Chain A
């Protein structure tokens, strides 16, 4: 890498021009991009990248003879997780072509046939990018997406600051330091209408104003990168794919409120995000974009990374700050708000990763531009993590106000294996379930709250007929119960009681009155808990009762689980006429209950069966029958 020298405000434009030239492909240049964020790596990206490098090395003479200069570039996540491992081939002056589901073997072929031979492997290409601001715009899944937060993810190498600068990076900071007053920055953010992306949707400009006005000579800014919602990964993708956007946002926020020090609190489960943040901070410091006397203007800002230590409640802002200070991460009542008394009792402004990443773009393109996207009260875009039983799992950045139906069916491609949509769970453990009847709800802060859910972090877990809503409610309750910090009784005791009731219902021991009791207890916990964890913990239960009450009743009254999930309420058997004896069920059965000779009818031993349903899902011939368990003899007699 070029040895860095500290820049001044005056040098920045020339430095950017140099970066742009380096980033643009020169005639004869070919870039092979490999998606190496956590999702790409989890799908085997490291082996693919190694195969590409090996193949290139062994074909070096041919590459030279063809007059090509080939660069292998690692990038962040484009958002197409379902298609990982993704490899793109970009010839100078041509659209960038994307290969999906790349294995090391295919990677070698891509190098040999496409990169060296100049013949794209057409039947393995899933899309083309002509314009980096509108990737795959000819495809339904991408047509309605608007990339502001994810603008750089999947394009730049996140470990090279030159790439970020080439794509307009640090231009927001430049504009600010060139002559905007702190009040001017806050005014711009207010005009944009940006609201916090960490869950509650508090107006960001207003929050900054509180911190700016708070008395104190020492102030802090904090980035909440705890991303505790189990089923959400947009913050991780931004941190891994475009870390400088977050850093630049924090710099601008620090300038606006008068802070000279900041923390990024990142969960320890994200080692790659932490590593890339470290690299980014080092590079920004070396160029004089971070640290003392930034760009020669006298403005200084020191940025630290704190690793979270595995507690969901630490995503709550007061608990998070306690954790940064080295204490147990328990929340405290507000007020006083962090804007007045935060880290070490100093005024502190805390925002979520995605909130911060929006800031540089707002400063470059103007608050009015941002306010032109979205709805009346929810401006800009939101990144959602689409997961569960949806066809195109991955990330989607959409303008606020788009309907759930558009997200699930157009962007998400509908339900896997053409099964029936049942619900989408939005907002994680604090959110709720949206049934099919609410698919036309616009996705914005206020409409979701009106439906009993909430934007939360932006996790969207789609479930189909094979998911039991009572079990899902039990799952979330178990999660919040174990994550409750234990400080306030409504949350500590109330969630335990609700969990016990849900466990009983799933075990087929539910009683009449349980549902009303759950609703009543849920309301109490919401009303009396100390922090947002308890105040929202009952939401998954309350919304599933509201929209799927009949499923609860089936468990309680009929002792059946309509989705066939709750182990106590199902049994599995082989339908002899349909079984071809293929052995798939035997292969997937984790407990050895499925057995039989090849090409003969198989069987399932009820005594060994743990009722996990693996055989049911694996069978290609619908030869596994899911029914009610045979009644225990004692019950028959009784």
Chain B
């Protein structure tokens, strides 16, 4: 987890090799890099630019344009609270406020123990069960602030079990 001063590029080289020469590879490369490293480390962006034969500015331009890319390290679990229309009219903000208060982080930030990153998202496509949120790849619906907290508690316990 700890991002030492040395950037380990083995995994990145593997990703780049798989995409070499394919047109339009930049976004998939960034997606896979982020999946592997958890975020887009700065040294990685320079290596990607060199390998795909484009200026670093273009890589930055794309990485900062899309909401999905992150230039800062993120938590082990990504919590995304839906603030789409359906969730808005059924109290999605309240879920976000509650989680923000109990995790002690603002939306977009990561807890000190690097366990959770709290984010907002506009629609998870489960609007019929609003308000909703997603933790990593799992979607949770019909939430109340209390139920949302309970979900995170399960992940916290899961993390503790893995750690011990």
Contacts and interface: CB of A to CB of B under 8 A. Distances in A.
Interface in B96-152: 97-98, 101, 121-130, 132, 134, 137-142, 144-146
Nearest to A327: B62
B97 A610 contact: yes
Contacts of B88: 472, 475
A539 to B, nearest CB: 14
Contacts of A323: 27
B126 A42 contact: yes
Interface of A: 38-39, 41-43, 81-82, 84, 227-233, 236, 268-271, 306-312, 323-330, 344, 385-389, 393-395, 425, 428, 459, 461, 463, 467, 472, 475-476, 479, 485, 587-588, 590-591, 610, 612, 614, 617
A355 B118 CA distance: 36
Contacts of B85: 229-231, 387-388, 425, 428, 459, 461, 475-476
24 contacts: A39-B129, A42-B140, A81-B126, A229-B123, A231-B85, A233-B127, A306-B24, A307-B28, A309-B66, A309-B69, A311-B66, A326-B23, A328-B62, A386-B128, A387-B128, A393-B128, A425-B85, A459-B127, A463-B89, A479-B122, A590-B97, A612-B91, A612-B93, A614-B145
A428 B127 CA distance: 13
A43 B89 contact: no
Nearest to B97: A590
B7 interface: no
A533 B77 CA distance: 33
Given A309-B66, A387-B128, A326 B123 contact: no
Contact of B125 (A233, A306, A472, A617): A233
B67 interface: yes
B26 interface: yes
Contacts of B137: 271
Given A326-B24, A326-B25, A588 B146 contact: yes
A230 B97 contact: no
Nearest to A235: B125
Nearest to B61: A328
Nearest to A313: B65
B66 A84 contact: no
A53 B18 CA distance: 39
Contact of B123 (A231, A311, A463, A610): A231
A41 B123 contact: no
Interface residues of B, number: 49
B33 to A, nearest CB: 13
Interface string B47-86: 0000000000000011001111100000000000001111
Contacts of B144: 588
A38 B145 contact: no
A84 B12 CA distance: 42
A240 B80 CA distance: 21
A392 B96 CA distance: 25
A233 B128 contact: yes
Nearest to A270: B125
Nearest to A239: B125
Contacts of A308: 68
B128 A326 contact: no
Contacts of A42: 124, 126, 129, 132, 139-142
B68 A231 contact: no
B125 A269 contact: yes
A189 B139 CA distance: 38
B125 A236 contact: yes
A565 to B, nearest CB: 10
A459 B128 CA distance: 11
Given A309-B67, A344-B23, A614-B145, A387 B130 contact: yes
A269 B124 contact: yes
Contact of A394 (B91, B128, B134): B128
Given A227-B125, A328-B62, A467 B89 contact: yes
A562 B142 CA distance: 27
Contact of A82 (B91, B123, B128): B128
Contacts of B140: 42
A469 to B, nearest CB: 11
A428 B91 CA distance: 18
Contacts of A325: 23-24
Contacts of B67: 309-311
B123 to A, nearest CB: 4
A341 to B, nearest CB: 16
A312 B122 contact: yes
B127 A393 contact: yes
Nearest to B137: A271
A82 B141 CA distance: 11
B161 to A, nearest CB: 18
Contact of A328 (B65, B89, B123): B65
Nearest to A82: B128
